[in-house]
Amino acid sequence: MTDAVPQTPGFKSGYVTMAGAPNAGKSTLLNRILGEKISIISNKPQTTRHRILGICHRPGAQIIFCDTPGIFIPKDPLNIKIVDTACGAISDADVLLAVVDAAHPDLSSETLLSEKISGLKLPIILALNKVDLVADKGILLEIIARWSARLAFAAVVPVSALVGTQLDDLIDAIIRALPEGPPYFPEDMLTDAAERFIAAEFIREKIFRLTGEEIPYASAVSVETYQLNADRMRLSIEATIHLERDSQKGIIIGKNGAMLKRIGTEARQDIERMTGRRVFLKLFVRIQKNWRKDAKAIERFGY
């Protein structure tokens, strides 16, 4: 853990867990607030599998966001671990930010989330996301009324993570709810995640974005080597994409290696933007049969 820097009088800081259903837009919201991409996103649900810390610095405050996997009813050992990760982050928070997709209300997801966060003895802020897609603003009033009947909120803020609507209002509401305390991280730090971890996540994001419904959920990524060359200007990375069945291997490699090349090219571009260095990225594909049901494999892949 990074040593805390000295506290100034009246300074506010704390951990804000972002909780919501899959595809509510938590990761997009975090990236928009930070102005940097640290959490991967796709249009498929359950893209996020880990807790990701994002550190937001404001005058007189430091907000430590914890982006979590979506909360849903899990059906296999991997997803049980993922949902446990999300629920564990809720209990560790100073403030809870409940993120709801206002454009596509899902009553079953709302009920599940409200059950998970009911009874919490901490401030809860409700962020109604994707309001740029809601033409009838009366829908927002209905959602607010439905949620307010379940829980008491420190604030309710309609936002759009995609276009940045009312994010300053959301930040202000969070700062009001935070306790006084010292900054925990230096001002130039945006996340505690290692570059090696984020590189693996960028590769996994491209799999989610570029392949069909089955492949992303059957895939895991491990980084085998992550080395700077002698002049520290170029980064060499070797990573392995793990799949569950032989039939999936041909899909992810593609005709004449085209799909694997595209995944590697797009991931490399993101890694170069993150590191500010030229990157040489080499990808391998291996089969780890039914790894999502194998407790040892799940642990080995970092879940």
Q: What is the pTM of this model?
A: 0.88
CATH 3.40.190.10 fits 12-177, yes or no: no
pLDDT at 6 (0 to 100):
56
Question: What are the sequence ranges of the domains in the chain?
Answer: 12-177, 195-300
Is 11's pLDDT higher than 70?
A: yes
The 155-158 sheet, strands edge to edge: 52-58, 61-67, 12-20, 95-101, 124-129, 155-158
Mean pLDDT of the chain: 92
Is 225's pLDDT higher than 50?
A: yes
Kindly report the backbone phi and psi dihedral angles of residue 51, in degrees, each rounded to the nearest multiple of 5, phi listed first.
-75, 130
Residue with more model confidence, 218 or 105:
218
Residue with more model confidence, 126 or 72:
126
Question: Of 104-118, 157-171, 225-239, where does the model show the most confidence?
Answer: 157-171
Q: What is the pLDDT of residues 42-93, one digit of tens each?
A: 888 889 888 899 999 999 999 999 999 988 888 889 989 888 888 888 888 9
Distance CA 45, CA 208 (A): 10
The answer to whether 83 touches 69, Cβ cutoff 8 Å, is yes
DSSP code at position 296: H
Same fold, 12-177 and 195-300: no
Kindly report the backbone phi and psi dihedral angles of residue 241, in degrees, each rounded to the nearest multiple of 5, phi listed first.
-95, 120
What average pLDDT does range 246-251 have in this prediction? Answer: 94
DSSP H or E run through 282 = strand 278-287
pLDDT at 83 (0 to 100):
87
Is 159's pLDDT higher than 60?
A: yes
Confidence band for 5, pLDDT divided at 50, 70 and 90: low
Is 302's pLDDT higher than 90?
A: no
Q: Rounded to an integer, what is the distance from CA 285 to the centroid of its chain?
A: 25
Is 108's pLDDT higher than 90?
A: no
pLDDT at 301 (0 to 100):
85
pLDDT at 128 (0 to 100):
97
pLDDT at 7 (0 to 100):
57
Looking at the chain, the whole-number percentage of residues with pLDDT higher than 70 is 97
Distance CA 130, CA 83 (A): 23
Is 1's pLDDT higher than 50?
A: no
| Pairing state between β 155-158 and 95-101 | unpaired
CATH 3.40.640.10 fits 195-300, yes or no: no
Is 2's pLDDT higher than 90?
A: no
Sequence-separated (6 or more) residues with CB below 8 Å from residue 205: 40, 41, 42, 47, 267, 270
| Amino acid letter, 83 | V
